[in-house]
Structure 1
Amino acid sequence: MIDVLVMLCGLDGGGCATRAVPAGATTCAEARAAAAPRLVAWERAARVEGVRCGAMDAPAMEFEEVAPGLFVHRGAVALADAANGGDIGNTVIVVGAEAVAVIDPGGSRVLGEAVVAAVRGLTDRPIRFAILTHGHPDHVLGATALADAGAEVVAPAGLAEGLALRATPYLEQGARQVGAAFLGSEVPEVDRDVTDMEVLDLGGREIELRAWPVAHSGADLTVLDRATGTLVAGDVVVEGHLPTLDGSLAGWLGVLDALEGSEATRVVPGHGGPVLPWPEAAGPVRRYLGVLGADVRALLAEGATLGEAAAVAAAGERGAWTLFDEHNPRNATVAYTELEWE
């Protein structure tokens, strides 16, 4: 299995890092041809040096097998920084008899490469799908490595457009927070939009994809592994990490209502876990969103300004969540702008 290895260096002198294009070819010529589009893309933002053929030797991401053929990597419940390399979201591997699906392949190119390495260590079956549950960077920027390895990138309808609008700030933020480990990271191209519900067959193993109206974000998707009754919820369900509202408060609660009728018995959250009982795991998220909504409505009735509401709404939930002070003011702002028009 031949890949293409390169040294990427920041144009501003911000360091260098080895990156791989996991071509998985049989000859060096085939590998270089497959890698050419990625190298051209990288040359727009970095210096590409020392291009050579070889076997990708990136450290494999660590996964826990939580059910037969279902593997979860638990990211740090933290803000992205150089110490954690931006590894702050959960990633899931589902292995069927013929192919593999990866759900939310991490927040940088190097993490995506580590996911490919992990899959290669588990099975020789191809990665057929890279599934994105929503467009936040800690869940999607690793997808380019899986696309280079042959995966079809699947996402809820609307994600590609939203991600394109935010691409520049997402990439600038990642480079600032993570440093050289972020080199090579790009916004992935989406190959298939899910508008309602689709079933993907991995060979004797079906996974059910369902796209939702605006909820946690502007475009959310959940995945049900029918073989194990496991729901992969993205950030619609989180544990420990404060829920982050980037869509609709009412929409999010509506999605939780709908998911409670699912045949799932457990859930992999977008942060925390790695696996929790379902539907019980929805309880803390539902409680926080309920408190946030009730507080904002009360503040609106009192004539509070947006700034005043952002400072105090849901303050009673502070002790229950990590990253409360980092995310709650924005949550309150989003809730205020939605609820003031009720």
Structure 2
Amino acid sequence: MFEAVVTLCLAAALETCRPVLLPGYEAAGRDACVAALAARPPDGGGAAGGLVAQGEPTCRPAGPALALSEAAPGLWVHRGVLAEPDRANGADVANLAVIVGTRSVAVIDTGGARAVGEALWRAVRAQTDLPVSHVILTHMHPDHLFGAAPFVEAGAQVVAHEALARALADRQANYLESFARLIGPDALIGTAAPAVDVAVAETATIDLGDRELDLRAWPPAHTGNDLTAFDRASGTLIAGDLVFDRHVPALDGSLRGWQAVLGEMRQMPAARVVPGHGGPVLPWPQGGADTARYLDVLAGDTRAAIAEGARLGAAVDGIARSERDRWELFEAFNARNATVAFTELEWE
């Protein structure tokens, strides 16, 4: 299989470059790929703001694809690395899902950089030639959505919680700056925050052709813009970061809200869940038990510290320490969780 790429460089540092996939030109042979480029030249050769193209688009053998495991017929899952984004993992740290109907495909979350999204695109193309009609984003965090660009360029609609666009607009500059430091500016070339085409206020249904996905926008929980997708055909709930496995939960919304949302989610008629990290597939509702326990401990310890009159700085190190050996990345996230919890619960 051959694909079209263009080498893009940072305009401010022309030695910092990356070959960027141009989706939609895949072909069994080089000649067919070249013919597709000639028949439909890419607009601007793939260059965007702050980037310059080094040469013309060319065709080459297809690059690496993300590994997918089949969780149910027509539903594939990619398991991200249990780590913070860095140069070694290239921000491939979140779980991603691909659901195939008879008419089109939906991808749910796209990874933390365009390069991850490109590898996901190749993985989808290895499974089906059907168009990717929808990119469903479970929440605003960059490790879940910065890989959307190849799918958007290929014509997919971006679907998200109605609050995501505003939240992302407020944070995207900081997210991009942070990820450039974490994974390197070269690895981030071509990465951009996606615009939302379909904003979900409460619920929505997407029909991929004999396969319907039920979307639900939740009140503030893990973040202020969490969205889940339920695949009716397989009974699978794609939960995003409302459910964590092994990776310690990260609180960026409302602790009480997250506890309440998990309680409601337990009543959903799902057989299995795809968490945002870990897994990648767990039985439901059992698969949410560890997340619920951690949140309960976080809330209980925080309330106890507040009742004792502890100040935030002194309380943070002790809150939820009993959970330390149950999770990976505990030291990276727990103090931040305790700070958010304390700030919320001290005004109860």
Q: Which TM-score bucket, shorter chain as reference?
A: over 0.9
Q: How far off is 1:60 after superposition?
A: 1.2
How far apart, in 2, do the equivalents of 1:296 and 1:56 lie? Answer: 54
TM-score if structure 1 supplies the norm length?
Answer: 0.94
Contact 1:199/1:208 (CA < 8 Å) preserved in 2? yes
How far apart, in 2, do the equivalents of 1:16 and 1:306 lie? Answer: 45
Q: Deviations 1:17-55 (Å, cap 9, x if unpaired)?
A: 10022144974356435x43952xx3x223321231536
How far apart, in 2, do the equivalents of 1:305 and 1:45 lie? Answer: 45
1:71 paired residue among 46, 69, 76: 76
Q: Deviations 1:60-104 (Å, cap 9, x if unpaired)?
A: 111001110000000001011111111000010000011000000
Equivalent pairs counted in the alignment come to 338
User: Which position in structure 1 is the counterpart of 2:236?
Assistant: 230
1:51 paired residue among 49, 56, 63: 56
Is 1:8 aligned to 2:5, yes or no? no
1:30–1:237 Cα change, 3 Å: farther
The residue identity in structure 2 corresponding to 1:115 is L
User: Which position in structure 2 is the counterpart of 1:107?
Assistant: 112
Contact 1:31/1:53 (CA < 8 Å) preserved in 2? no
User: Which position in structure 1 is the counterpart of 2:121?
Assistant: 116
How far apart, in 2, do the equivalents of 1:115 and 1:4 lie? Answer: 16
User: Which position in structure 1 is the counterpart of 2:32?
Assistant: none
Q: Which residues of 2 match residues 191-340 of structure 1 at below 5 A? A: 191-340=197-346
User: Which position in structure 2 is the counterpart of 1:36?
Assistant: 44
Please give the secondary structure, in 1, of the residue aligned with 2:310. Answer: coil
How far apart, in 2, do the equivalents of 1:268 and 1:17 lie? Answer: 32
Q: How far off is 1:239 after superposition?
A: 0.3
More displaced 10-residue stretch of structure 1: 23-32 or 194-203? 23-32
Contact 1:4/1:32 (CA < 8 Å) preserved in 2? no
The residue identity in structure 2 corresponding to 1:15 is T
Q: Deviations 1:247-279 (Å, cap 9, x if unpaired)?
A: 000110111111111110110100001100000
More displaced 10-residue stretch of structure 1: 4-13 or 83-92? 4-13
The residue identity in structure 1 corresponding to 2:53 is V
How far apart, in 2, do the equivalents of 1:31 and 1:64 lie? Answer: 34
The residue identity in structure 1 corresponding to 2:338 is A
User: Which position in structure 2 is the counterpart of 1:90?
Assistant: 95
How far apart, in 2, do the equivalents of 1:145 and 1:173 lie? Answer: 22
Q: How far off is 1:110 after superposition?
A: 0.7
How far apart, in 2, do the equivalents of 1:129 and 1:56 lie? Answer: 27
TM-score if structure 2 supplies the norm length?
Answer: 0.93
Q: How far off is 1:5 after superposition?
A: 1.9
Contact 1:295/1:314 (CA < 8 Å) preserved in 2? yes
How far apart, in 2, do the equivalents of 1:163 and 1:310 lie? Answer: 28
The residue identity in structure 1 corresponding to 2:293 is R
1:13–1:54 Cα change, 3 Å: closer
Q: How far off is 1:308 after superposition?
A: 1.5
Contact 1:231/1:268 (CA < 8 Å) preserved in 2? yes
**Unaligned segments of structure 2, at least 5 residues:** 27-34
Q: How far off is 1:147 after superposition?
A: 0.4
Q: How far off is 1:242 after superposition?
A: 0.5
Contact 2:135/2:156 (CA < 8 Å) preserved in 1? yes
**Unaligned segments of structure 1, at least 5 residues:** none
1:69–1:313 Cα change, 3 Å: same
Is 1:18 aligned to 2:19, yes or no? yes
Contact 2:2/2:62 (CA < 8 Å) preserved in 1? no
1:106–1:242 Cα change, 3 Å: same
Q: Deviations 1:290-315 (Å, cap 9, x if unpaired)?
A: 01011111111111111122222111
C-alpha RMSD of matched pairs (Å) = 1.8
How far apart, in 1, do the equivalents of 2:56 and 2:180 lie? Answer: 23
Q: Which residues of 2 match residues 152-191 of structure 1 at below 5 A? A: 152-179=157-184, 180-191=186-197
Please give the secondary structure, in 2, of the residue aligned with 1:235. Answer: strand
How far apart, in 2, do the equivalents of 1:30 and 1:107 lie? Answer: 32
Contact 1:216/1:235 (CA < 8 Å) preserved in 2? yes
Contact 1:244/1:327 (CA < 8 Å) preserved in 2? yes
Is 1:145 aligned to 2:150, yes or no? yes
How far apart, in 2, do the equivalents of 1:170 and 1:13 lie? Answer: 23
How far apart, in 1, do the equivalents of 2:330 and 2:287 lie? Answer: 19
Question: Aligned residues: percent identity?
Answer: 49
How far apart, in 2, do the equivalents of 1:153 and 1:335 lie? Answer: 31
The residue identity in structure 2 corresponding to 1:264 is A
Please give the secondary structure, in 2, of the residue aligned with 1:237. Answer: strand
Contact 1:21/1:145 (CA < 8 Å) preserved in 2? yes
